[in-house]
C-alpha cells in the first residue's frame, strides 16, 4: 500500500516546504494539502523536487473566512468568485505538478445551489482538462460541516453523472462517508469507477487510523484488492506531534513485508 500525507493536518505546525520534507523522512509516498496559496509555488515545487514526492491535490479557496465560508462553487450569485478560486487553484496545481483539485461547494441548499454547482464544476473541468487535472468533489459530514451542500456519495454520483465529463471524480473520504452512510466496504466497491482519490481517519475522532469504529486493516485490504493505483490520503488530526502518531504506518509497512 502507498500513502499520502495530508499536510493540512500532518506537520501543520511547519512551513509547507518543511512539512513535505518531514513526510518524506517519515516514509510517505506522496503528499497533499488544503490551501497552499500563501506559500510561493516555487518553494513548494523545490521541496517536491528535492524529496521526489508528488503533491496529489489541493483545495479551492474557502472564500471569506471571517464570514465563515467553506467553499464557493455552490453559492448562487457567487460565480465570479467561485471561478476566480478555480482559476487560482489550477494555476497553482500546474506550477507544482498536482494532478487533482478538490472544488469546494460551500454552505448552500436547494435547486439553485445544485444548478450553480453543476455550472461551476463544468467550468472547472473544462479549464482543468488541457492540463490533465482531475476535479474532485467531496461529501462532508453534517457534524463537522453542518449546512455544507454536498453530504452523501449518492448526491455526488448524481452530480458527476449530470456534469458528464471524464475528469470529474469523487473524493471518497472514509471518515466522512462512515459518519454519514457507513458500509464502507460495499460503497468503495460500488463507487470505484467514479472515485478519484481516497482519504481516511479514525471515526469518530478523526485521529490516527489505529482505533475507533473502522477497522482500517480491513479497509486497506479491500482497497489493495481493488487494485487501487495511487496513494491513500492520511487526512487525520494528530493532536500533537505528528511523528508520534505514525505507529499505524510502521505496522502496515511491517505487515506488507511479511
So which residues are the catalytic ones?
138, 235
Nearest of 183, 243, 221 to residue 28 by alpha carbon? 243
- What DSSP element (H or E) covers 6? strand 3-6
| Residue 18 C-beta-side C-alpha neighbours within 13 Å | 5
In the sheet that holds 3-6, the strands lie side by side as 30-32, 3-6, 232-234, 195-200, 168-173, 134-137, 100-102, 57-59
Q: Is 22 helix (H, G, I), strand (E, B) or coil?
A: helix
- Supply angle C-alpha 109, 233, 242, rounded to 5: 110
Q: Which three cell numbers stand for residue 120?
A: 461551476
Q: Which residues contact 224 (CB under 8 A, 6 or more apart)?
A: 1
Rounded Cα gap, residues 169 and 193, in angstroms: 9
Grid coordinates representing 207? Answer: 485521529
Q: Would you list the DSSP string of 60-89?
A: -----GGGT--BSTT-TT-HHHHHHHHHHH
Amino acid at each position: 500500500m502507498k500513502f499520502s500525507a495530508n499536510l493540512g493536518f500532518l506537520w501543520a505546525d511547519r512551513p509547507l516546504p518543511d512539512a513535505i520534507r518531514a513526510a518524506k523522512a517519515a516514509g510517505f509516498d506522496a503528499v497533499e494539502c488544503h490551501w497552499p496559496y500563501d506559500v510561493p509555488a516555487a518553494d513548494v515545487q523545490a521541496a517536491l523536487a528535492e524529496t521526489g514526492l508528488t503533491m496529489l491535490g489541493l483545495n479551492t479557496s474557502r472564500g471569506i473566512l471571517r464570514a465563515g465560508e467553506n467553499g464557493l462553487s455552490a453559492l448562487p450569485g457567487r460565480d465570479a468568485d467561485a471561478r476566480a478560486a478555480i482559476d487560482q487553484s489550477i494555476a497553482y496545481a500546474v506550477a507544482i505538478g498536482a494532478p487533482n483539485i478538490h472544488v469546494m461547494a460551500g454552505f448552500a441548499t436547494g435547486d439553485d445551489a445544485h444548478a450553480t454547482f453543476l455550472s461551476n464544476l463544468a467550468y472547472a473541468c473544462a479549464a482543468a482538462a488541457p492540463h490533465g487535472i482531475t476535479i474532485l468533489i467531496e461529501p462532508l459530514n453534517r457534524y463537522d460541516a453542518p449546512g455544507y451542500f454536498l453530504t452523501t456519495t449518492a448526491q455526488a454520483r448524481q452530480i458527476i453523472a449530470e456534469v458528464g465529463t471524464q475528469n470529474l471524480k469523487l473524493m471518497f473520504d472514509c471518515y466522512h462517508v462512515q459518519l454519514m452512510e457507513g458500509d464502507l466496504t460495499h460503497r468503495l466497491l460500488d463507487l470505484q469507477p467514479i472515485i478519484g482519490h481516497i482519504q481516511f481517519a479514525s471515526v469518530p475522532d478523526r485521529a490516527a487510523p489505529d482505533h475507533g469504529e473502522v477497522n482500517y486493516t480491513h479497509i486497506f485490504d479491500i482497497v489493495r484488492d481493488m487494485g487501487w493505483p495511487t496513494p491513500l490520503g492520511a487526512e487525520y488530526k494528530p493532536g500533537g506531534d505528528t511523528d508520534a502518531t505514525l505507529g499505524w504506518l510502521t505496522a502496515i509497512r511491517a505487515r506488507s513485508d511479511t
